[in-house]
Each structure stands twice: as C-alpha cells, then as structure tokens.
Structure 1
Amino acid sequence: MKSQTAGVLELLKQHELVIKQLYDFFAEYFPQKKDFWLKIASEEQRHADFLQTLELNEAYVSWFTDNSHLSLVAIQSSIDFVTQERERMNVSGTTLLKAYAFSKDIEDALLEKYLSKINVNIPPEIAHVVAVLAADTKRHAQEMNVALLEEKKKQ
C-alpha cells in the first residue's frame, strides 16, 4: 500500500499528464497552433517523468510526507476540474482565446497552489526537480499570456 506522500507524488504526476492531455487536445482542435501546443505538452510529459523518478526514492517519499504541505484532495480536485473542462470543450467546442486563458489559469494555479508550497529544507535532488517544474510552469504561463494578448488583438 502506498503512503500518503506516494499518493501526493502520484497525483502530481497525474496532474501533469492531465495537463498534457489538455494540450494534446488543443493541438488537435487548433491545427494552426499545433506546434505550440505539442511543445508544451511534451514538457508536461517531462514533468511527469521527473515526478516519477522522485516517487521511486523512499527518502524523497519520506521528505514529502513530512514537509510538502500538499493536499491530496486539492490535487485531485484540480485533476478532476481540468479533465471535466477538457471533456466539456470536446463536446461544446471552444475558442483559441478561451484555450489560452484556461491554460494560463492552470499554469498560474500550479505555481501558486503547489510549487510555491514545496520550499522547506528541500533535498538537492527534489530542489532541482521543483526548480525545473517551477521555471517551466512560469514560462508556460508567460507564453500563454503572450498568446492570449495576441489573440485578443485579433478580435
């Protein structure tokens, strides 16, 4: 049976994969922006892979148990929300403007709700993974914001 923290790491990994699936969906839905979405989707896959490596090390699992301050319920709620929104957009449709805005909000929430909480006496290996995830996530939010502003100018 997995510990709560293995659960946290697994849910964080699932969260990255759900976001990847969202961006894969946008790549298909907006073929004119396919390269943009696929690039970011591949980075989300890389994030999931990084989290998988942390989950394999019991010392890191123990660190998360004692120090991460992350909520399983909050992570699962976010996973469910992103999944439901992707399914809704698949059925009802969406616009590029809405896709950028939603994606920016998701990336901003990752920074504020999860990555910013992992900052107490971090072992170097965890610090490296968190730093990469935080930097990529911040860049993703910035890229979404630029794309969002450009799309707004067109309308």
Structure 2
Amino acid sequence: MATNEVLTFNAAHAPKENAIEAFKILLPTLKAEIVKSRHHWAAHEPRMWERAQALSDHELVAFTIEDDLVEVRSAPTSYGTIILGKIRLPKVNDAEGEGFVHVRIHDPPNHGSEDVTFHSLFTEEIRPDPESPPTGFRAIQTSDKPLQFFNE
C-alpha cells in the first residue's frame, strides 16, 4: 500500500501532455465523484463543501482539464504511477480566493493511459492539534494549499 513515507513525489509543476491526457480520460468520473462527495457530506458535515453552497452541481463541476488542471505531482510505485492533480473550480471564487479540488489518480504500468483510474478526492478535517476535535472541514482548497499525498 502506498504511504507518504515510501513514495517519492516530484515537485509540483504545470501539467504536461501525459497528465492532461490521463485527467481528460477521467473527466466524467471526476465530475461525478465531486458531486457524489458533495451530496454525501451534505448529509454528514455540510461545512465540507461550504464554499460551493450557492452553486448548483452543474456549476460546481463547470471545469475543463485543459483550462483548470493547474498543477500536478507524480510518484512511481511498483504497480504504476500515482498522480496528484490540483483542479480549479472556476465558479468558486469567494473571500478566500479561487477554489480548487485535489484529486488522486492511478496509472498502471505498460498500458498507456486507457487504464487510468480515479482513486480519491482530498477532504480534510481542520484541527488545531492532532488530539483536538475538528474545528472545520474542507473539500475546496485555497490556491496556497500545497498538493501533497493523501490516502483517503
């Protein structure tokens, strides 16, 4: 199983053609997973998607990979490549600035990009320290949130 301790990610950078292609293949899945997450968290913790509360599902996922995949990182594993992507949500722009989701996908070896799979969306509980209860919840990140490995 991949963990941050055993993975060596490259530095965050603008996406190149291979990353753009991988994320484009998953575009319908990414949009469906964002909407699914929003609906799931609305029932359990509405603050998770709070920055998009005024948007319809359609408006929330009104992004394209070509225009809105702004940053990627990747790390090789024995079973392929883990790719992290920061995708801008163009309709989210509030007092905190532009909104982004962080996505984790997987590209198995030796098959090109046709077998790329979605893994997860980054959601976080904000805690002042690890032992305290959460003080906030966030699925929509700010531009300064680093794109780091997550294992949700």
Q: TM-score, normalised by structure 2?
A: 0.31
